[in-house]
Amino acid sequence: MEAILTLGLLGGLLGLGLAFASELLKVVSDPRIEAIEKLLPGINCGACGYPGCAAFAEGILEEEVDHLASCKPGKDQHYNAIIQYLKDHPNKDGHIIKTSK
Ligand code: SF4
């Protein structure tokens, strides 16, 4: 009985510690990355020079991508949607990320 209580208490304390650590160490990513990723073709082919569409979307937001046409499978509809999205969703400081087709 004593062993069960000890293990239960220990498990509870470790669980609380993990919950606290996950809250303290969580990484908040920019929700625009996922939104832009959804506007891309989603093939994850790597033709843009990035390892996938999410990384390309992150590159756009970090202003590393000069031309959206680096995404070879992309079409005007993808590029236009991303350009419009970037106009509608500026950085927190109000800076609008500009990129071209
Ligand atoms: S080229 Fe386009 S479809 Fe291919 S990984 Fe890059 S962003 Fe995604």
Over residues 10-65, the pLDDT tens digits come to 999 999 999 999 999 998 899 999 999 999 999 999 999 999 999 999 999 999 99
Residues spanned by the domain of 61: 31-88
CATH number of the domain residue 79 falls in = 1.10.15.40
The number of distinct structural domains making up the chain is 1
Cα–Cα distance between 30 and 19 in angstroms, integer?
Answer: 22
Q: Give the orientation angle of helix 76-88 with respect to helix 31-39, to 10 degrees.
A: 160
Ligand 1 cavity residues, CB under 6 Å:
40-41, 43-48, 50, 52-53, 56, 71-74
Q: Is residue 1 part of a domain?
A: no
CA 11 to centroid of ligand 1, rounded, Å: 45
CA 19 to centroid of ligand 1, rounded, Å: 36
Under a CB-based contact definition with an 8 Å cutoff, are residues 49 and 55 in contact? no
Under a CB-based contact definition with an 8 Å cutoff, are residues 37 and 53 in contact? yes
Q: Tens digit of pLDDT for each residue in 52-85?
A: 999 999 999 999 999 999 999 999 999 999 999 9
CA 92 to centroid of ligand 1, rounded, Å: 26
Q: Is residue 97 part of a domain?
A: no
Query: What predicted TM-score, i.e. pTM, was given to this entire model?
Result: 0.78
Structure confidence at residue 15 (pLDDT): 96
Can you name the residues that pair with 100 across neighbouring β-strands? 67
Q: Is residue 26 part of a domain?
A: no
Q: Is residue 48 part of a domain?
A: yes
Q: Is residue 52 part of a domain?
A: yes
Q: Is residue 79 part of a domain?
A: yes
Alpha helices in 1-75 (DSSP H): 2-25, 31-39, 53-61
Q: Is residue 77 part of a domain?
A: yes
Residue with tokens 């992150």: 58
Q: Is residue 9 part of a domain?
A: no
CA pseudo-torsion sign 40, 43, 49, 52: positive
